[in-house]
A and B are shown apart, each in its own frame.
Chain A
């Protein structure tokens, strides 16, 4: 209990320093670099929120892009300017969302996007999370396919495969990093609570955790839903940064990028996901001219995949992690011979 106060203070100081730095950045960086910086923030939110399920709980969701899509489309439909709606074939808002002459402001629209993503997570998580962790991976992937299909086919709402453009540019460094700050704070609070310890107990040994009276379903679902909320917010921020969204942007490639960021950074730590997101985006934008000039399409994804494989095989604890939090298990295991590994006692 005594240690919590200084740690909270840390967050305040960190926040102040961060926003000071952002102020300087906004004044000095050119638009392209600022754009990249904001993207780093958005991807960090996505990665940090994915960490809640995939890192701390040991579930491996592959549907993060779907939650981002839900957030992006929801917030866009809410904030889209009324005069342009007809020209862009977008529906007006029904009465319970404020009536046909209403457009929401940015913050509540983002929240709505997050909440809707959470609801979707509840819907998909409730049947699947009772089962072995693996089913979540496949079901969430399937969920992503379904969401993208809906985005393509519900033309009256989403304008189909061509997507929505002329989205107002609301996202800036302050919004983005405020949300990143909130996300990290919430995740940190969860992880350092009784609840968070329960999550990690589940990751380590589900049966043992059950014996201790931890009811797995509740905890898993909670982590999944909270993660989806912030993914939805990240999607909303993304839409209002790039000003155009199309269904295929939110498919497996996006999920994969976030997964790589998480693994390369380090699962199950606070700073790992952010480090991963920042480094891999930096790498992406450094390689982008190369990919485009040499027409080597797929080069960046290839390198991402290679990084993921290398990290998994040779440095499973990620860039910032210590051995303790490695996804490969404990160090003693590694020292044992191949044959002895099959029945490693716990």
Chain B
């Protein structure tokens, strides 16, 4: 056995909107089975990072490796096939489709009908409320339910790497706690998670490794304990 290759490796990636760089020379690594948290204020470049990893945005410079393979120029649908799933910010569920249809679309690229139905049951087991609302139009769900649906839909693609973009946004504290329990369970089932959050304490609590972005640049990187002890993190992100 040689050196262990990390599941995701972002190498000196720069992404520009027009001429303005949104992220610059970004370096990031996610090991298998980890939950990695990516923190930062509004406009720090977190969503841009996720979209670039997903292949929706194209980097101006730099490389992205997934499972040791260069995927910098691979279109998004093919990345889905490789096992990357993005649960977008604001959930991005299809409001006019039913819950079930939304979930099935998560498995769009898969051909194994039996496996899909099995996973559907698995998702319903994980989120019983979705089962109850199976044939409802997704637009009628509550915010928390919609977030569950978005995550469930992400799971339907049988991802190896799941990118979660601010899942706790706009949810009540109780629902957020429930959500984080679920995220932990998803990791236990073997899915690696890159978690983007603005609110830090919960994310740091769950993560194996933490990156803090500031105006498109990685400012701090370390284990939760290291990061927590830093004064500036305490001040800005932990409210203490």
Is A346 within 8 A of B17, CB to CB? yes
Binding stretch for chain A, among B51-59, B107-115, B207-215: B51-59
Would you list 15 pairs from A and B whose C-beta atoms are within 8 A, ordered by A residue?
Answer: A332-B18, A336-B58, A337-B58, A337-B73, A337-B75, A339-B75, A339-B76, A340-B56, A340-B58, A342-B56, A343-B51, A345-B17, A345-B22, A346-B17, A346-B18
Residues in chain A within 8 A of chain B (CB atoms): 330, 332, 336-340, 342-343, 345-346
Report whether A339 and B55 are in contact in the complex, using a CB–CB cutoff of 8 Å.
Answer: yes
Q: Which of A332, A336, A340, A342: most chain B CB closer than 10 A?
A: A340
Cα–Cα distance between A336 and B18 once the two chains are bound (Å) = 12
Distance between A341 CB and nearest chain B CB, rounded to angstroms? 10
Decide if B57 touches A343 in the complex (CB within 8 Å). yes
Of chain A, the residue at the smallest CB distance from B75 is A339
A-B contact count (CB 8 A): 24
In the complex, what's the smallest C-beta–C-beta distance from A219 to chain B, in angstroms? 26
The number of chain B residues touching the other chain, given as a range, is 10 to 19
Q: Is the interface of A mostly helix, strand, loop or mixed?
A: loop
**Which one of A330, A332, A340 contacts B57 once the chains associate, using CB atoms below 8 Å?**
A340
Q: In whole angstroms, how far apart are the Cα atoms of A342 and B17 in the complex?
A: 14
Query: Separation in Å of the A77 CB from the closest CB of chain B?
Result: 52
Q: Do A345 and B75 touch across chains, with their CB atoms under 8 A apart?
A: no
Residues of B within 8 A of A337 (CB): 58, 73, 75
Cβ–Cβ < 8 Å partners of B55 in chain A = 339
Give me the 5 closest cross-chain CB pairs, A-B, nearest first.
A339-B75, A345-B17, A340-B58, A343-B56, A336-B58
How far in angstroms is the closest Cβ of chain A from B80? 12
Taken together as a complex, chains A and B put the C-alpha atoms of A339 and B80 apart, in Å, by 14
Residues of chain A lying within 8 A (CB to CB) of residue B73: 337
> In the complex, what's the smallest C-beta–C-beta distance from B18 to chain A, in angstroms?
6
B55-76 interface (Cβ within 8 A of A): 55-58, 73, 75-76
Complex Cα spacing A337 to B57, Å: 10
Chain B 72-90 against A: per-residue CB contact (8 Å), 1 yes, 0 no? 0101110000000000000
- Supply 19 further A-B pairs (C-beta < 8 A) apart from A342-B56, A343-B57: A330-B18, A332-B18, A336-B58, A337-B58, A337-B73, A337-B75, A338-B75, A339-B55, A339-B76, A339-B77, A340-B56, A340-B58, A343-B51, A343-B56, A345-B18, A345-B22, A345-B57, A346-B17, A346-B18
Which chain A residues lie closer than 8 Å to B22 at the CB level? 345
Residues in A neighbouring B57, C-beta threshold 8 A: 340, 343, 345
Query: In the complex, which residues of chain B have a beta carbon less than 8 angstroms from the beta carbon of A336?
Result: 58
Bits for B173-211, please: 1 = Cβ < 8 Å to A, else 0. Answer: 000000000000000000000000000000000000000
In the assembly, what is the distance between CA of A90 and CA of B152, in Å? 74
CA distance A346 to B18 in the complex (A): 7
- Determine the distance from Cα of A235 to Cα of B191 in the docked complex, in whole angstroms: 70
- B76: nearest residue on chain A (CB-CB)? A339
Contacts of A332 in B (CB 8 A): 18
**In the bound complex, how far is the Cα of B56 from the Cα of A330, in angstroms?**
18
Closest to B77 in A: A339
For residue B48, give the distance in angstroms from its CB to the closest CB of chain A.
Answer: 8
In the assembled complex, which residues on chain B have CB atoms less than 8 Å from the CB atom of A339?
Answer: 55, 75-77
Q: Which residues of A contact B18 (CB under 8 A)?
A: 330, 332, 345-346
Enumerate chain B residues within 8 angstroms of A342, measured Cβ to Cβ. Answer: 56
Distance, CA A49 to CA B51, complexed state (A): 43
Mark B85-99 against chain A: 1 for CB-CB distance below 8 A, else 0. Answer: 000000000000000
Q: A-facing mask of B133-173, CB < 8 A → 1, else 0?
A: 00000000000000000000000000000000000000000
Chain A residues in 8 Å Cβ range of B58: 336-337, 340
